[in-house]
Amino acid sequence: MDIDLGNNSMETLCKTCSIQLDKIKNGGRFIDKKEILKTPRKTFTANIPLKMDDGSVEIFPAFRIQYNDARGPTKGGIRFHQNVSQEEVKKLAFLMTIKSAVVDIPFGGGKGGVKVNPSKISESEKERLSREYIRHFHRFIGPEQDIPAPDVNTNEKIMGWMTDEYEKIKGRKLPGILTGKPLSLGGSKGRSYATSLGGAIILEEYLKEESIDRVEVAIQGFGNVGSNLAKILHDKGHKIVAVSDAEGGIIDNEGIDIMDLYGKYDGDGDLSKMKDVEEISNKELLELDVDVLIPAAIENQIHEENVDKIKANIILEMANSPVTTEADKVLENSNTVVIPDILANAGGVTVSYFEWLQNISHEYWTEEQVNNKLKAYMVRAFKQVRETSENDECGLREAAYILGIRRVLEAEKSRGNL
């Protein structure tokens, strides 16, 4: 969903989020609520000078935004990307605020980023940049203040470097400073596939409530989220008929052998290595007549130009903002069920919360314990969003935003800020 936070108008923000203002009004002090939500609580910027391998020095703009901490320490990933900007980080920090509230974990929302093309720097330059990011922002983050995590083009290795640098600066072990770390540094079991498992749990709950057993599924995006989700849904008995990556995809109406594909793709990243399947473009995949379409790649994949060709009955948003605002209105009018990203892909932040809990308590859980706790949180969140949808007579996306914003405002009211 394309949220423009550059316009400091709560009415505009709510409209973009498809939220009716009267559904979060309580009394005559709504102007205070606009002020609370329209801008980030804290914004930090830096221009990081980095010595490159050839001895030259380059400057990399970097950001950390803590949007709202009414419900707890801010939480959100750090991304390395050539298109990172302060406005993008602000938008994502807002979404993290709402996502944490929807699954009802005691976190606010934050986000960070560095404007860098990671494919253009060496591994050693990447490590130095990661450590420099912590050196520039260490005063503003901490286990009880702001907890970063991996995001686009960052991973557990980078989180390990950042954790090490933070602990060196502070002079003591503080594993709760970051989540998504390697297991050897306090990472949580189950974290690597938590986003996928969370999405599968949400889909299963929806299908159960609708008395639907087995479905045909197409998945756009075969990275960590898409590939793990394909494996999980396949194991649950659903038929995966098409998958794709950035280069294109494959289709088999009888069902793709996901376990075979998973091993081959993991080896060389080439979907075309599969036998007895047809190739398909990403555009064609989105327009397949399947029960469930799962955009798990990048944003804005379903838009005004292709929305009329979407035939799936259910769209499970595993990518962030894969459906534009304009397309979302068309889908709603066509009775297509859209399970929104701030609910569907919240398994990652939920298990990040579990990792943080384990770090600060120094008590670590088994993989089964993590997955059982994740299921409990995701099922509860789905039922609450569904109940809000029924009570407020709106779609699941609108219901998720209403639920999340209400919870943030309730926390602000309890603090005496409203």
**Residues noted as catalytic:** 111
Task: State how far the Cα of 22 lies from the Cα of 6, in Å rounded to an integer.
Answer: 23
Task: State how far the Cα of 332 lies from the Cα of 49, in Å rounded to an integer.
Answer: 48
Residues 6+ apart with CB under 8 A from 184: none
The answer to whether 235 and 217 are in contact (CB under 8 A) is no
The answer to whether 389 and 3 are in contact (CB under 8 A) is no
Residue 80: which of 44, 143, 123, 42 has the closest Cα? 123
- Chain-centre distance for alpha carbon 121: 26
Task: State how far the Cα of 303 lies from the Cα of 328, in Å rounded to an integer.
Answer: 8
Task: Print burial letters for 31-41: b (CB count within 10 Å at least 16), e (below 16).
Answer: eebeebbbebb
Neighbours of 202 (CB within 10 A): 25
